[in-house]
Structures are given as structure tokens and as C-alpha cells.
Amino acid sequence: MRSTGFSFVAPLLVLMVVAFNLPILYMLGLAFWEKGRGFTLEHYEGLVEAPVYLRVLGNTMRIPVIATLANVIIGYPLAHWMRGLQNRARLVAIALVVLPFWVSILVRTYAWIVVLGNGGLVNRALQWLGLTDAPVSFLYNELGVTIGMANVLLPFLVLPLFAAMIRIDDRLMQAAASLGASPRTIFWKIYFPLTLPALAAGTLLVFILCLGFYVTPAILGGGRVPMISNLLDTLINQIPRWEQASAISTVLLIVTLAIFAAYRRLDRKASL
């Protein structure tokens, strides 16, 4: 029976190894190999010596942190508000949150140009209200990239949070209130700790997805806010320098794995 079961799994295992694992290993190997010279760390030394690479790495770390924090600030109250809705209103709210998944990221990104451009809806409203005399520069900078990334990834945080919140038994809060606990105490001592695992998982998911964004920084950044994905496109398709691109990809992979390992360690300690 075991051999029969393995025969069903073997084709999928082979596909995973050939289509996913081998390309990753080949990519990792390029960063440590130079034709005619063999093993080398020169490509990693180039990352440290060239200021442009450090600036791109800084952008790739800083912007996702800000976008993730913005998602937490917006997404947690939104998920909590959705939990308190009645059945029909809750379905409408869920549909509105899921709706962006049905629209292309490219279309949603270009839509922000209409909203935040110099002649866009926001700048027209600000000038009409007399709050500004000239258009505010929302686009082609870190602010525009952050807004676009936060908008695209907000459902990835709201939906897991909402799923965790609706599973919380209201009788827990009622029991705490009957014992004299204030609403603030009930929230911080009971409600928030129960939603913390989902919040942490959603935050980690949003941050990791931010690290690999390409379309949004390319369009809303206008080439002025380069991130690792945009740099990789240049190194692979324009220069090309595959070895340097492999070194940068390896650094990004290590950072992502380190963040995930730290999250798993904290989660394991919290569950003890």
C-alpha cells in the first residue's frame, strides 16, 4: 500500500523538484560562481561596495514596513467593524473587500494615477477646498508607492483577521463584563490576545508580499523609487548581469527566511 501511495505522489514530487527546487538551487549557485574562476564572493562584495544596491535594499525594507503598518492600522479596525455587522451587511462588506481580487493589479495601480495625479480627484478636491494652492506630489515618490502597495495588500490582512474575529465567542466578553471588567480591559485582555495570532500571520504575509512587488513601484514610483524586483528586471533583461541578480535574490531570500523563522520562534514561545 505504501509503494502504491508513493507512486501517486512521485510525479508531483518530481514536478516540484524540477520546476521549483532546481531553478532555486541554480539561482543560488550563480551568486557563488564565476566562469573561469570557480567559487567566488565577488558578487556579494559588489553589493556592499556599490551605493545603488544598498539604496535599493533600503527601499525594499523601508517601504514594505510602512505599507504593512498602514495595513495594520486600517485593516484591524475594519475587520473588527465587519464582525459587528448583521448578516446581510456583513456579506456586503466581505464582497467589497474581496472585490479587488477580481480586478487586475495593473488596472488598480493605474487607477491611483487618476486619483492621486496632479489633476486627479484628490488634488482637485484639496484645491477646491482651498487647502492647497498647487497640486500635492502624491505620485512618483515613496508616498505613492506605499499607498498603492497598502491598497493592493489590504484584503490579505483583513480576511484572515475577520475569520479569526468571528470565531471568538461573545460569551467570553459578556462573562468578563459581568465580573466588572471595563470595555478597554475586555479588549486588551481578552479580545486582542485572541486575534493576535491572526494579526501576526497576516502582517507577516503582507510584509513578505511587499518585498517582491514589481508593478506598483514601477508605475507609481515612475522609476524614482527602485526596489529589488525592479533592479532584478534591469540586471536580467537590460544589462544583463545574472550573477549580480542572483546575489541580490539570495540576500532577499535569506532576509525573508530569517523573518519567517523569527515569527515561528515567537509564535512557539507564545504558545507555551
Identify the three-state secondary structure at position 103: coil
Domain boundaries, the chain: 66-225, 226-272
Buried b (16+ CB within 10 A) or exposed e, 153-173: bbbbbbbbbbebbeeeeeeeb
* pTM of the predicted protein model: 0.84
Contact 53, 232 (CB under 8 A): no
Q: Which residues pair with 39 in a beta bridge?
A: 33
pLDDT recorded at residue 4? 63
Measuring CA to CA, which residue among 59, 67, 82, 61 is closest to residue 206? 67
pLDDT recorded at residue 245? 84
- The low-confidence residues of the chain, meaning pLDDT below 50, are 1
Task: Copy the grid coordinates of residue 57.
Answer: 535594499
Task: Copy the grid coordinates of residue 272.
Answer: 507555551
pLDDT recorded at residue 179? 87
**Residue 146, Cβ neighbours under 10 Å: how many?**
25
pLDDT recorded at residue 165? 92
pLDDT recorded at residue 270? 57
pLDDT recorded at residue 3? 55
pLDDT recorded at residue 158? 93
**Residue 262, Cβ neighbours under 10 Å: how many?**
11
Ramachandran category for residue 134: left, alpha or beta (phi over 0 → left; psi -120 to 50 → alpha): beta
CATH classification code of 66-225: 1.10.3720.10
